[in-house]
A and B are shown apart, each in its own frame.
Chain A
Amino acid sequence: MEPLVIDAKGMHYRELNQIIRDKVAEGYRHFILHNVNGQRYIGAGIMEDVFIEIHGVAGNDLGVFMKRGTIIVYDDAQDGVGNTMEGTKIVVHGMAGDVCGYGMRGGKLHILRDIGYRTGIHMKTYKDMVPVIIVGGKAGDFFGEYMAGGILILLNLWDDDDRPIVGSYLGTGMHGGVMYIRGEVDPHNLGKEVGIKELDEKDFLLLKKLLKEYCEDFKDYGLSVDEIMKSPFTKLVPVSTRPYGKIYAY
């Protein structure tokens, strides 16, 4: 079926999303949205294998509860990208806001530039579902807080301001999953449940595989996996899978 082109100019999110849901029910799978300007919940709860292209800034909770499919945003995205998402891939050709990937248990977020606070909170792994967030720029505080699974990669490719790569309370309450940060992390910023580990061969293979896909998604920006991999990474893992196991008296 032909892609469905929607001009979202001045449309309330409710109207826009209703059209998408109705058209998905009719069998449409490819959507091209123009003039998107902060409309929320695009793709919310869609279980079909859709392909949504968004021109303009996507609003909060992009792809919330989505099961599969792909979303590409040719601009920035606001807060809550990939909230409680199950398996979609979201590519953002710009920045993304706060609490992205909260409770995400599958799928991928590829963000070209910076991301806000509280990224990947309570991300979790289940069997072959391993959520991945790759951020090209820098991140704010509470990166990977309560992280229970999955992979967080922070690249700092652009380094276009004085801020540190990542903010404070990095991985506070982390009890699963792994983070790779390209560059050094000030131990002062680490949550107390996180430990720094050396990368081994497996880590490099994994990074290479994930970054290859990332670079392909952003091929217009001249990114190269080898260039990116030249800089050292810091690997962060939880100290314990039971951080709060010993605080009780029986």
Chain B
Amino acid sequence: MLYKSLSSFPVFEVERDYDKCIVCGCCVQQCTFDATYYLPYAKKVITDEHKCVGCKRCEAMCPTGAIKVRAVTNEFKHNAYWDARTIRDIYKQADQGGVILTGGGNDRRFRVYWDHLLIDACQVTNPSIDPLREPMELRTFLGRKPDALEVEYNEKGEPELKTKIAPNLVAEIPVIFAPMSYGALNLNMHKAMAAAADAMGTYWNTGEGSLHRDLYKYGHCTIVQVASGRFGVSAEYLKVAAAAEIKIGQGAKPGIGGHLPGEKVDEEISKTRMIPVGTDALSPAPHHDIYSIEDLRQLIYAIKEATNYEKPVSVKIAAVHNVAAIASGIARAGADIIVLDGFRGGTGASPAIVRDYVGIPVEIAVAVVDQRLREEGIRNWVSIIAAGGIRNSADVIKAIALGADAVYIGTSALLAVGCTLCHKCYTGRCAWGITTNDPHIAKRLNPDIAAERLINLLKGWAHEMKEMLGLMGINAIESLKGNRLRLRAIGLTKEEMDILGVLPAGEGI
């Protein structure tokens, strides 16, 4: 029988310029996928290309610039329908008969709505504002806002606020580090996100793998997650945090659970998740005590009771077809924040078939949820966080104009510290030291340097966002919220524009 092994068709080719190569062995040391090795009899370093994942670590670290890692573009006869990935996946499954895993976010060619939205600017009338010389506010309050404010006058005749204001998070920039668990990431990355969030006056989210003891000092800028596995969830964990988040779903894998394989559960992860070393950490797809909005309400209020109603409670769902009605239910269940995680959101490990074909874009989810909550007169009950594939400050501005209050960034944060999107997070062998808990490789990620890079990223985005607000003649991010008139669509159908609530480019008001 004719049999094609996977190794016959490598995805990457590694070109080595042997005139430049000094046979220092750096690339052999750096490759965590055992693709590069030294051939003593030839006195050469060579690559086993079928093991190469294209992470470009060797290319980046080579002291003489001798290496180029390139994707193989012509491995099969050109076919616009059966692309190379499809062919290779079928070979792989015929070999092993399993579910194909992947990491990262959906990289398939679906329409990117961000790239069909353009931002307005002021000319002549309603002049633009120069943020370098005039005050410009990015501060964002996340949590329930009152339906109305009541004021009463005290004996001295001074006005005092009578309405009790619900607890809110105060973020100095509407960009928060997305939930990525300790386990999926290593402690160095958690340290970096916590320190960067603290320095920038924003928040980071633990993900569902609990909070390491060393990071309890960052509680004031930490959102802690409660997922179906309830790993490391305790009264203390809830009390130390700024807010708690119930994870119902994840944009990269809506409707399915999480699974941290036992070999990744080392001593420190075991301590943090409070499970024995080496056991699988299974997060079932549903919370088995949540089968309805009423059940969700029960968990929301359990957390509120346990934290004395002092902290906002967030509920995170994957953006799915009926997202507007679900979000309305979540708002009515008593959540203070709703996170909508779009289908471009990343994952540490997910079946590729789910990551690639389940869910909807966050742009659409934010627009329909904001619209629905406004129509029902309950938009002020909750804040909306848009998550899943926010790539730059323009995406943030567009998300807020479509109706979000703030955004989560996951993939962007990982890119900032060295990720090259090779999507091999699920192997635990990340050569950049980000999604690995191998202590030797994890040391490649210096938490202080990583924190500095995350701070730089947020500072850059903050400057850009202020510029964009200024050019629209707006001096506070609050004034942009749900202001879809400041967006115009290009290249979208009438139905798409109706759903997004934006006018076509060229149409004035």
Task: Give the residues in chain A near B276, CB-CB below 8 Å.
Answer: 125-127, 149, 176
Within 8 A of A (CB), among B231-256: 233-236, 238-239
With A241-B262, A249-B92: A65-B235 Cβ-Cβ less than 8 Å: yes
The answer to whether B40 has its CB under 8 Å from any CB of chain A is: no
Task: Give the residues in chain B near A103, CB-CB below 8 Å.
Answer: 229-230, 233
With A83-B289, A84-B230, A122-B288: A148-B305 Cβ-Cβ less than 8 Å: no
Give Cα A189 to B233, complex, Å: 31
The answer to whether A121 has its CB under 8 Å from any CB of chain B is: yes
The answer to whether A212 has its CB under 8 Å from any CB of chain B is: no
Task: Give the residues in chain A near B279, CB-CB below 8 Å.
Answer: 148-149, 175-176, 241
Q: Check A45 against B280 for contact (C-beta < 8 Å).
A: no
Task: Give the residues in chain B near A21, CB-CB below 8 Å.
Answer: 308
With A45-B238, A148-B279, A241-B279: A102-B259 Cβ-Cβ less than 8 Å: no
With A99-B288, A105-B274: A249-B93 Cβ-Cβ less than 8 Å: yes
With A86-B234, A244-B259, A249-B99: A122-B306 Cβ-Cβ less than 8 Å: no
Chain A: CB-nearest residue to B229: A122
Q: Check B289 against A102 for contact (C-beta < 8 Å).
A: yes
Interface residues of A (CB under 8 A from B): 13-14, 17, 21, 40-41, 44-47, 60-61, 64-67, 79-80, 83-84, 86, 99, 102-103, 105, 118, 121-122, 124-127, 129, 142, 145-146, 148-149, 173, 175-176, 241-250
Q: What 9 new A-B contacts, CB under 8 Å, besides A127-B276, A249-B96, A249-B100?
A: A45-B306, A64-B302, A65-B238, A99-B288, A122-B230, A122-B288, A146-B284, A148-B279, A175-B279
Interface residues of B (CB under 8 A from A): 92-93, 95-101, 226, 228-230, 233-236, 238-239, 259, 261-262, 270, 274-276, 278-280, 282, 284, 288-289, 298, 301-302, 305-308, 427
Give Cα A103 to B208, complex, Å: 13
Q: Check A84 against B98 for contact (C-beta < 8 Å).
A: no
With A125-B276, A248-B98: A99-B289 Cβ-Cβ less than 8 Å: yes
Q: Check A60 against B96 for contact (C-beta < 8 Å).
A: no
Chain A: CB-nearest residue to B261: A245
With A40-B301, A122-B284, A175-B279: A65-B306 Cβ-Cβ less than 8 Å: yes
Q: Check B238 against A245 for contact (C-beta < 8 Å).
A: no
Q: Check A66 against B235 for contact (C-beta < 8 Å).
A: yes
Chain B: CB-nearest residue to A175: B280
Task: Give the residues in chain A near B427, CB-CB below 8 Å.
Answer: 250
Give Cα A14 to B93, complex, Å: 54
Task: Give the residues in chain B near A248, CB-CB below 8 Å.
Answer: 98-101
Of all A-B residue pairs in the complex, the 8 with the closest CB atoms, nearest first, are A45-B306, A103-B230, A249-B98, A44-B305, A249-B96, A45-B235, A126-B274, A41-B305
